Amino acid sequence: MRDYTKFYIDGKWVEPAAGAKTLDVINPADESVAGRISLGTAADVDAAAKAAHRAFQTFSRTSREERIALLERIIEEYKKRFDDMAAAITEEMGAPTVLAQRAQAPMGVGHLQTALNVLKNYKFEEERGGTIIVKEPIGVCGFITPWNWPVNQIACKVAPALATGCTMVLKPSEIAPFSGQIFAEIMDAAGVPAGVFNLVNGDGPTVGAAISSHPLIDMVSFTGSTRAGIEVAKNAAPTVKRVHQELGGKSPNIILDDADFDRAVSGGVRSVMNNSGQSCNAPTRMLVPAARMEEAINIARAAAEATVVGKPQDKVTIGPVVSETQFKKIQGLIQKGVDEGATLVAGGPGRPEGLDKGYYVKPTVFANVTNEMTIAKEEIFGPVLSIIGYKDVDEAVRIGNDTEYGLAAYVSGSDPAKIREVASRLRAGQVILNGAAPDLMAPFGGYKMSGNGREWGDHAFGEFLEVKAVLGAPKQAAE
C-alpha cells in the first residue's frame, strides 16, 4: 500500500501542519484501499505559497538557457519513471494498462517536450519603434488538477509555467494523487530549485479554496467541473488574480450524410468509450441524419458490444470509472435516459455481467434522443453516448451549439469545403475533423461554460506571462 502522507514544500518532503487528517485512496477496479494521503490545510498552502514567492525572486530572473536545461533534466527523469507513472495511473483511476502506457503516461512527457521546443524560440521581447513590449512571468501559480487524465493535466500546466519562469503550488486530485506524488519525485530528482515546485494534497473546499484565495498566488489554473470552476473564480475574485479554467463539455459529433458512415459512427462510439467516458472533450452527442437513424443504431450497437469492460490489467477496452460517487451518478443518468424515453441501444443500468466488485459501467448507447433530454444536456462523464437525429445541416449546427458548453466539437464528411464550413459555425474551442489525431501544439480550451484561456503548445505560455510596455527605451550600444 502506498503511503504518501508528506508534502513537497521548498525542496523538501515535510510533515503536514497540525490538524491534518488522512484519506484512504481507493482502487476503483476492486474497491480496495490502495494507499493513503494527508489532507492539507490552509496552513500547508500558506507555507507552500511563501516558499514559491521566495523562489520567484530568483527563478523569474533565470535565462532561457537555464530553463531549457531544467526541462531537459525533468524529461530525462520522467522517462526513468515512465513505467512507475503508468502503473500509478492504472491503480489510482482504473485506466487499462495499455491506455496508461500508450496514452496517459505519454501525455506527461509530451507536454514537457512541447514546452521545451516552444521555449527554444519563444519571443519574450518585441521592439515597436521606441517601445519594447516585454513578456514577463506572472508570478506564483496555483494549480488544481483532476483525476481523469491526471498527469496530462499536471504537465500541461507545470511545463509552460516553468518554461516562462513562474513558480507554483500544485494540488492534484485527492481521488487520484499517486501520479502527482511521482511527478513531484521526478521534479526533485531533476534538481528543480527549492520552492519553484510545491505539492500539497487535499480536497477542494479546503486546499483548493486556500490556493484560489491566497494573496501570494498570482494566478490559478483549474481543470474540473464547471460547478467547481465557478467556486474557484469566486474565491479568487477578492485578490484579483488571473483565473484560467478548463471545465466541462458536452461535445457534438456531427456526422454529415456524405461521411463514411460506418467509420464515423463506430469511431464516434469508440471515442466516447475511451477512458471509460471520462474525458471532458468526449463526443457524447452524436448527430446523424434522421433518415439514417436505424443505420446509425445498428453500427453503434455493434461498436458498443465490441467494447470489452474488465480489470485494467487484462486485455480490455475500458476499465472502471474512478469512484463510487461517479458510478452512482452515471447509473442515475442512465436510468434517467430510460425514464425520459430514449431508445436504449446497448448497455443500460447496472454492472456488466461477471463484474460484481469495482466501479464498472456497461458501455451504453441511447438513440432517438432529443436535445432537451437530461442525458443530452448534462455531462455524464461515463461511457454513455446519445444519438440525436437532424433533418438538415442547419439544424445539426443549431443542435450542436444548443448547449451551455463549448469545449470541443467533431465533424465527419467527405467534402473538405463543407466540413470546414460546418466547423466555422460551431461554438467550440477545438473542432476535430474526420477523427483527426491530437496535436500537442493545438490550443486546448473552451467557449461559454467550458472555461476561459488556453492550454497546450505556444498558446499556453500566454497564460503565465504578464505584458509590460517599456516606452522611450534607449537603443542598446552595438556589441
C-beta separation of 258 from 424 below 8 A? no
In the set 141, 156, 166, 280, the catalytic residue is 280
* Residue 253, burial from CB neighbour count under 10 angstroms (0-12, 13-18, 19+): buried
- The percent of the chain in helix, strand and coil, each rounded to the nearest 5, is 45, 20, 35
Would you state the cell numbers that stand for residue 273, as one nine-digit string?
Answer: 468509450
CA contacts within 13 A on the Cβ side of 235: 25
Main-chain dihedrals φ then ψ at residue 286, nearest 5 degrees? -95, 120
Other Cβ atoms less than 10 A from the Cβ of 230: the count is 13
* Residue 402, burial from CB neighbour count under 10 angstroms (0-12, 13-18, 19+): middle
C-beta separation of 155 from 162 below 8 A? no
> Which stretches of 56-130 are assigned E, i.e. beta strand?
125-128
Would you state the cell numbers that stand for residue 130, as one nine-digit string?
Answer: 521606441
Strand partners for 402: none
Collapsing DSSP to helix, strand or coil, 175 comes out as coil
Other Cβ atoms less than 10 A from the Cβ of 321: the count is 28
In the set 77, 92, 174, 246, the catalytic residue is 246
How far is residue 306's CA from residue 161's CA, in Å, rounded to a whole number?
41
Collapsing DSSP to helix, strand or coil, 454 comes out as coil
How far is residue 40's CA from residue 126's CA, in Å, rounded to a whole number?
42
* Residue 447, burial from CB neighbour count under 10 angstroms (0-12, 13-18, 19+): middle
Main-chain dihedrals φ then ψ at residue 306, nearest 5 degrees? -85, -5
How far is residue 260's CA from residue 296's CA, in Å, rounded to a whole number?
12
Q: Tell me whether residue 280 is one of the annotated catalytic residues.
A: yes
Pairing verdict, β 343-346 and 451-452:
unpaired
Nearest Cα neighbor of 64 from 170, 191, 208, 164 is 164
Task: State the Rg of the chain over Cα.
Answer: 23
CA angle (314 as vertex; 308, 317 as ends), nearest 5: 30
CA 267 to chain centroid, in Å, comes to 21
Would you state the cell numbers that stand for residue 143, as one nine-digit string?
Answer: 494549480
C-beta separation of 369 from 290 below 8 A? no
Kindly state the helix (H) or strand (E) to which residue 135 belongs, with its residue range.
Answer: strand 131-137
Active site residues: 246, 280
